[in-house]
Amino acid sequence: MIQNRRRNVLILVILAAPLFGIAFYLWFGRKAEPKVTYHEVPVEKRVFVESIVATGTVSPENRLVIKSPVAGRIEKILVREGQKVWKGQILAWISTTERAALLDSARAESPEELSQWEKFYKPTPIYAPINGMIILRSFEPGQSFNASDGILVMSDRLTIKAQVDETSISKVNLGQKAEILLDAYPKNILKGKAVHRGFDARTVNNVTSYIVDVLPEESPETMLSGMTANVKFILSEIPDAITIPNEALSSVDGKACVRIRGTELPEQTPCTPVKAGGSNETSTLILEGLKTDQTLWVQDLKPLEAKGASLPRNPFSPMGGGRTRH
């Protein structure tokens, strides 16, 4: 009898254990939902810049490999990487294979013999074929080379090859103003313009894009071939435009709306319809529905969202990213 009671109690404990566990979790384990908070944002007028942002790479517009017509040995290199040169400038002196062998033989005999042959058998100069910059120096004095080896590499000017999405390529025209931001120097904004638009598409990870060459107004010495850059193509600049942060814009039944501060609590404030225009990475242009003497309620980002990526974009505008500068 006692054994049966013990067995029954044990079975009840085993069956009840999961229920106790669930009850314990529901009582102690669940965390309270974080309270939704809001902050105020005044409606203001400022210069609104509508733009398209694309990533790109610094590349020479024309990359020229300088080779010798014959094999030989480098005697002198007169330029360094990053140095600007002009057309016709002597970049290096070389000896043909025959001259190098002859001088080595004369050097083994006597200094006088070497000096005599150096006067009779002059080295060959290597000239710069264009104005530009030396971007690669492949050999040093004393090294031998073949006719197929590139001794130096030049570029006439550096451009940024920006990859523009096919949905935005129709908005980018030749001569369009652009701002260039190098990843290596994020505080220095360079001015430029689009000078060439590619006709052959590139598809990477199912994203089709076209290459647009952007020429900076000036190329600082810090801008090097191969650097990564962000290019912002300026579509339009609207002065005295009513703009709001992207996070202030909501959508109800597919229509744009905002919460205008009134006498109600923020969470009780109705979402007032507005007519939204273009947008960029931070701001949205409001065409109708707001005045500058109004203030908006904007919901604070949750902790995880605050650490996360970019702010929401305007879902009612076809324009891409960018930054408002004012």
Residue 196 confidence (pLDDT): 92
Same-domain status, 50 and 146: no
Same-domain status, 131 and 162: no
Tens digits of residue pLDDT in 35-68: 788 899 999 899 998 888 999 999 888 889 999 9
Contact 235, 51 (CB under 8 A): yes
Same-domain status, 89 and 50: no
Same-domain status, 51 and 190: yes
Contact 233, 197 (CB under 8 A): no
Same-domain status, 277 and 130: no
Tens digits of residue pLDDT in 164-219: 999 899 989 999 999 999 999 988 999 999 999 989 888 888 889 999 999 999 88
Q: Tell whether 30 is covered by a domain.
A: no
Average pLDDT of the segment spanning 99-113 = 93
Average pLDDT of the segment spanning 257-270 = 90
Same-domain status, 146 and 264: no
Q: Tell whether 19 is covered by a domain.
A: no
Average pLDDT of the segment spanning 24-43 = 70
CATH of the domain at 182: 2.40.30.170
Q: Tell whether 10 is covered by a domain.
A: no
Average pLDDT of the segment spanning 14-40 = 63
Residue type, 149: D
Q: Tell whether 326 is covered by a domain.
A: no
CATH of the domain at 69: 2.40.50.100
Q: Tell whether 21 is covered by a domain.
A: no
Average pLDDT of the segment spanning 248-274 = 90
- Whether residue 80 has pLDDT greater than 90: yes
Residue 312 confidence (pLDDT): 44
| Structural domain count, the chain | 2
Same-domain status, 138 and 204: no
Domain residues for 298?
41-58+158-307
Residue 20 confidence (pLDDT): 58
Residue 308 confidence (pLDDT): 41
- The phi-psi region of residue 289 (left if phi > 0; otherwise alpha if psi is between -120 and 50; otherwise beta) is left
Same-domain status, 266 and 163: yes
Same-domain status, 46 and 80: no
Contact 270, 250 (CB under 8 A): no
Tell me the two tokens of residue 303.
Answer: 């902790």
Tell me the two tokens of residue 306.
Answer: 């605050």
* CA 92 – CA 75 distance, rounded (Å): 8
| pLDDT grade for 311, boundaries at 50, 70 and 90 | very low
Same-domain status, 202 and 303: yes
If one compares 206 and 8, the residue with the highest pLDDT of the two is 206
Q: Tell whether 33 is covered by a domain.
A: no
